[in-house]
Amino acid sequence: MRTKGIPIQQLLLALALLAGVCWNLARAGELRGVTVDTGATGTRAEIQLDREVEYRLIPLSSPERLAVDLPGVALRKGLALPSGGGLVRAVRSGHPVPGTTRIVFDLSDKVAALRPRFEPGGNGPRLVLEWPGDGAAAAATPTTAAPAATDPLAILTQGAVTGAQAPEVAPQPAKAPEVLPQPAVMRPLVIAIDAGHGGQDPGSRGPSGTREKDVALAIAKELARQVDATPGMKAYLTRDSDYYIPLNQRARKASAAGADIFLSIHADAWTSPSAKGAGVFVLSTRGASSQRARWLADKENASDIIGGAVPAGKNGDAVLTSVLLDLTQSGNLKASEDAASHILGQLATVGNMHKNHIERANLAVLRTSDKMPAMLVETGFISNPSEEKKLRDPVFQRRLASAILEGVDRYFSRQSPPGTLYALRAEAARSARQGGSP
Ligand SMILES: [Zn+2]
C-alpha cells in the first residue's frame, strides 16, 4: 500500500529516528563518581559514568593539572569528589560551557597520563586515567588534602580507597604486616654498580695517599643512593664494603641480580701528574682505541693478580674467550656505546674529560657482561693532585654520581625495556601526543 509521495514505512522510520535523536539529546550522561587510588604502578583515577561518552583531555602546566571535559554529561546530584591521593593533590569540577562537565586533577608533578580507556563496571563504564610512577615515589609525594592516602600500606591493606573516605583510614595500627602483596605488573630497572678494586687490591694511589678502591666505593655508594631515590630504578652494588671480587665474577653477580646495565667505577692514574679528566670505556676484543687505552686495560686487568684471584703469569684460555666474546658481544656492544655516550655527555657537564669520545679496550671486567650494556667509568685522575682532592670531596662525588645517573636515565628513556616504568612513560608520552577520545 502506498500513499502519494513518501511511502508510509519510510515516514514512520524517519519519525522514529527523529524521536530517538531527540531523546538522546534530552538525556544527558551522568557522572556517578570519581575515585583516586595509588598502587605499585602509580596513581589511578576513575570517572564513573552511566555510558561511554566523548571526552577531551586538556593538560595544563604551572601548576600541573589535567582537565577532562565531558560534553553532554552532568554530575550526579550531591556527588562528593575525592580529596586526592598519590600524584593527584586535589580533584575539582566545573562547567567551562553550559552542558559540559569538567573534572580537574591538580597534580603534584609533571607526569604525562597514559592514554585513557573505558573499563566496564557493574555500575556503568569507567573512564580510567593513569599516571605512571612507583608506589614508593607516589607515597613520598606530599598531598595536602588526604594524608592517609599517601600511605601505600594503608591503601594496600584497605584495598581501593577513594579520597573522600581517605580520612577514615588515618588511624592505622602502628605496625603493618612485613610482606604485602604487590601487583607484579612492573619491575624496576636494575642498575648494577661495580666499585673497582677492593680488599688487598687498592687500585691506583694518589700523591697524598688516596686509594682508588676507597674513592670508587664512595662514588658507587652515592650513585646507588641516587638510583634508589629515582622512581622506576633499583641499584645493585657488586660490593658495598672493602673486599675483593674477581673481575670475571663482577658482571656475573650483576646478571644474577637481573641487571639492565653494568657500570664499573674507577679512578685513573698516569705517570705524569698533569694528566686529567674523566673517561668512559667499552669493551673491545679487537685491540684498544689508543695506546693509553691498552695500557689502562693492562693495569685494570692486573687487578685479579693483585687481588689474588689469578696467579701471576697465568693467562688461561684468553684466545678461546675472545673468540666466544666476539660472538656474544656484537649484540650489546652497540647498546654499550649508546649508553656510554649518554654518560660521557653528562660527565662533560661536571668536569674535565680526558677525551671527548668513548674509548675501547679489552677490559676483563666487561668480558662477562654479555647480556647488558656495560662500561667502565674512569671518574678522574687520582694521580693528578687537584683531581685527587676533588675525587675525595663528597660534593664532587655527588655531582659525578648525578651526572652518571642522568646519562643512565637518558639512555633508558630512549631504550626502555618492556615492563618498566620507563616503558610506561614512553607509552604515556606517545598517547599524550595523540590526546582526546579514541
Ligand atoms: Zn681501576
pLDDT tens string 206-238: 999 999 999 999 999 999 999 999 999 999 999
The Cα–Cα gap between 264 and 375 comes to 6
Average pLDDT over residues 369-384: 93
* Whether 282 contacts 358, CB under 8 Å: yes
Residue with cell 694521580: 383
CA 168 to ligand 1 center in whole angstroms: 56
Per-residue confidence at 39, pLDDT binned at 50, 70, 90? confident
Q: Where are the beta strands (DSSP E) in 146-231?
A: 189-195
CATH number of this structure's domain 28-166+428-434, picked from the four choices 2.60.40.3500, 3.40.50.11890, 2.40.50.100, 3.40.50.2300: 2.60.40.3500
pLDDT tens string 290-316: 888 888 888 888 888 777 766 554 444
pLDDT tens string 54-76: 888 888 888 889 999 999 999 99
What is the C-alpha radius of gyration for the chain, rounded to an integer number of angstroms? 29
Element (H, E) at 293: helix 291-301
Higher pLDDT, 96 or 28: 96
CA 119 to ligand 1 center in whole angstroms: 55
Element (H, E) at 236: strand 233-237
The residues, ordered by sequence, that sit 6+ positions from 402 with a Cβ below 8 Å of its Cβ are 226
Report the Cα–Cα distance between both ends of the chain, in Å, rounded.
Answer: 46
Average pLDDT over residues 186-204: 95
CA 251 to ligand 1 center in whole angstroms: 15
CATH code at 189-418:
3.40.630.40
* Whether 205 contacts 212, CB under 8 Å: yes
The pLDDT assigned to 123 comes to 82
Average pLDDT over residues 103-125: 87
The Cα–Cα gap between 317 and 163 comes to 64
Where are the domain boundaries for CATH 3.40.630.40 in the chain? 189-418
Element (H, E) at 217: helix 212-228
Closest CA to 356 of 341, 375, 338: 341
How is residue 17 written as a grid cell? 529516528
CA 392 to ligand 1 center in whole angstroms: 15
pLDDT tens string 133-161: 865 444 444 433 333 333 333 223 233 33
CA 216 to ligand 1 center in whole angstroms: 8
Is the model's pTM score more than 0.85? no
Element (H, E) at 306: helix 303-307
Where are the domain boundaries for CATH 2.60.40.3500 in the chain? 28-166+428-434
